[in-house]
Amino acid sequence: MVESVRSLDGQTTVETRYFISSLESDAKQFGNSIRSHWAVENSLHWVLDVALKEDNCRIRKDNAPQNFAILRHIAVNLLTQEKRVKRGIKNKQFLAAMDNKYLLNILALA
């Protein structure tokens, strides 16, 4: 069982989640496993969904979903590597769409 306490805008919520695992009863290792899972979820999957709207994608046929997922991952990695402009992924994506020089700078990182 993991109890998560979250405070946001002065309001505190407590969420209890239950897990089944074959790990020995080492709370520290279990906590690290849970945190590392959510670190991936929050850092990559959230960006893919919010900035690139991956969940709204209607591509369903053959290998196209996997191919576009790879392209999205490449795009996120390149936009993350670009450090000259201090903006979020979504704004960098928009800037690259509007400015061909900026787009070429991002593609040069590949």
- Measure CA of the first residue to CA of the last residue in the chain; give whole Å: 43
What does the pLDDT read at residue 28?
Answer: 85
Give the C-alpha separation, 18 to 24, whole Å.
16
SS3 content of the chain, % helix, strand, coil (to 5): 60, 15, 30
Q: For residue 37, which phi and psi values (nearest 5 degrees)?
A: -60, -45
Domain boundaries, the chain: 24-108
Give the C-alpha separation, 31 to 13, whole Å.
19
Q: What is the pLDDT of residues 36-84, one digit of tens each?
A: 877 777 778 888 888 888 888 898 999 999 999 999 999 999 999 999 9
What does the pLDDT read at residue 6?
Answer: 86
